[in-house]
């Protein structure tokens, strides 16, 4: 790199070379600015599609009721919304709850508001930080209060994640069948509450030949299908635990346009600059060093992505935009004080020196 920054002020410079170098510096600077802007614009767009995850110092609580026709009042020691009512098949989410020493001890009571409905006892439950906990109320099985750790993160394959919460006899078979093909995508027992990854198509949910529900799953969504049964038959309701992806694929068009412009203005001019400003014997070496800087940039991306310094990719994009801004300031400083190298003038001067030495030898 010291070769590039040599002082060539003693060499004559052509006006055309000065113009070319000024254009190269300007295009390279614009390229850096375009790449920085692409990362900056993409970050807030991505943030709109992320789920709200419990982080360090907080936890989350969700309660599903799978008992149709029955209303329950739940009281708890939660700071906000400590008392609420679940009406039939219903759902409650607490949002983030502050923890102390890595956990929060939940005390809760459940009171039936509908005559003839099953009685459910309250209790205590330890909620750990950075974890989403869910309680499912189901009177048709031995364990009437099912606690499990919930998964809020979206699928990294642009698929949907679905959980079946059935307040039915434990051995009841439930099928998820594709509407278009009629193929069975998932078959499970009512006692199962596992999270399954499914394609983003329309499904019929059945027990035997009885249709329980019909749902269209969307990319990135995390769903919970709650099924119950009353005197009139089966009752079901689908809840979105995590909102599906709402960002259109068309948002990729401006990102690719801006990044392509940045690459064209930055990469091409950089290669041309490293070639034109290198001495004849070092042109390949200097171009190799230029490409090596690209490799170092890829290493930085890999380190940041794999070590997961941030919970969201949007924060990573803001970091990359900040690094590009710092890089742009350093580039501006070097470009301002750089003295260009004219290869033609250098060759001409070498010829004169060679002739001068030859003439001295002759004399």
Local confidence pLDDT in tens for the 363 residues of the chain: 333 333 333 434 444 444 444 444 444 445 454 554 555 555 555 556 678 889 889 999 999 999 999 999 999 998 766 789 999 999 999 989 999 999 999 999 999 999 999 999 999 999 999 999 999 999 988 889 999 999 988 888 889 999 999 999 998 999 999 999 999 999 999 999 999 999 999 999 999 889 999 999 999 999 999 999 998 899 999 999 999 987 777 877 887 888 788 777 777 887 888 888 888 788 888 888 888 888 888 888 888 878 877 777 777 878 888 888 888 888 888 888 887 777 676 667 767 766 666 555 555
Q: How far apart are CA 352 and CA 357, in angstroms?
A: 9
Helix (H, G, I), strand (E, B), or coil: what is residue 108?
strand
Return phi, psi of residue 47, to 5°. Answer: -60, -30
What is the number of residues in the chain? 363
3-state helix vs strand vs coil in the chain, percent to 5:
35, 30, 30
HSE of 154, CA atoms in CB hemisphere, 13 A: 23
**pTM for the model:** 0.68
Beta strands in the chain (DSSP E): 58-65, 71-76, 83-87, 90-98, 103-112, 123-128, 132-137, 145-150, 160-166, 173-178, 184-189, 195-198, 202-207, 210-216, 222-230, 233-242
**Which one-letter DSSP state was computed for residue 284?**
H
């Amino acid at each position: 790199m010291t070769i590039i920054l040599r002082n060539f002020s003693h060499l004559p410079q052509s006006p055309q070379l000065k113009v070319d170098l000024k254009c190269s510096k300007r295009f390279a600077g614009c390229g850096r600015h375009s790449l920085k802007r692409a990362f900056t614009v993409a970050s807030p767009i991505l943030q709109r599609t992320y789920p709200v995850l419990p982080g360090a110092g907080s936890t989350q609580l969700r309660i599903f009721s799978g008992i149709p026709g029955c209303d329950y009042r739940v009281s708890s020691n939660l700071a906000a919304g400590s008392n609420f009512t679940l009406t039939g098949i219903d759902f409650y989410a607490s949002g983030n709850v502050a923890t102390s020493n890595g956990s929060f001890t939940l005390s809760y009571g459940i009171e039936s508001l509908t005559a003839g409905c099953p009685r459910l006892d309250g209790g205590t439950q330890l909620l750990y930080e950075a974890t989403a906990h869910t309680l499912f109320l189901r009177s048709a099985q031995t364990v009437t209060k099912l606690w499990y750790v919930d998964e809020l993160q979206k699928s990294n394959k642009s698929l949907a994640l679905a959980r079946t919460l059935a307040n039915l006899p434990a051995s009841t078979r439930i099928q998820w069948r594709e509407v278009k093909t009629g193929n069975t995508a998932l078959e499970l027992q009512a006692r199962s509450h596992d999270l399954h990854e499914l394609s983003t198509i329309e499904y019929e949910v059945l027990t035997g030949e009885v249709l329980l529900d019909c749902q269209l799953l969307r990319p990135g969504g995390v769903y919970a299908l709650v099924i119950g049964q009353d005197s009139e038959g089966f009752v079901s309701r689908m809840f979105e635990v995590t909102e599906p992806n709402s960002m259109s694929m068309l948002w990729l068009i401006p990102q690719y346009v801006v990044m392509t412009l940045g690459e064209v203005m930055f990469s091409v001019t950089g290669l041309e600059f490293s070639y034109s400003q290198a001495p004849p014997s070092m042109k390949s070496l200097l171009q190799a060093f230029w490409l090596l800087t690209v490799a170092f940039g890829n290493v930085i991306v890999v380190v940041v992505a794999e070590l997961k310094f941030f919970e969201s990719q949007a924060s990573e994009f803001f970091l990359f935009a900040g690094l590009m801004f710092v890089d742009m300031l350093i580039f501006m400083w070097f470009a301002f004080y750089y003295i260009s190298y004219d290869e033609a003038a250098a060759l001409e001067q070498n010829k004169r020196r060679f002739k001068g030495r030859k003439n001295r030898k002759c004399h």
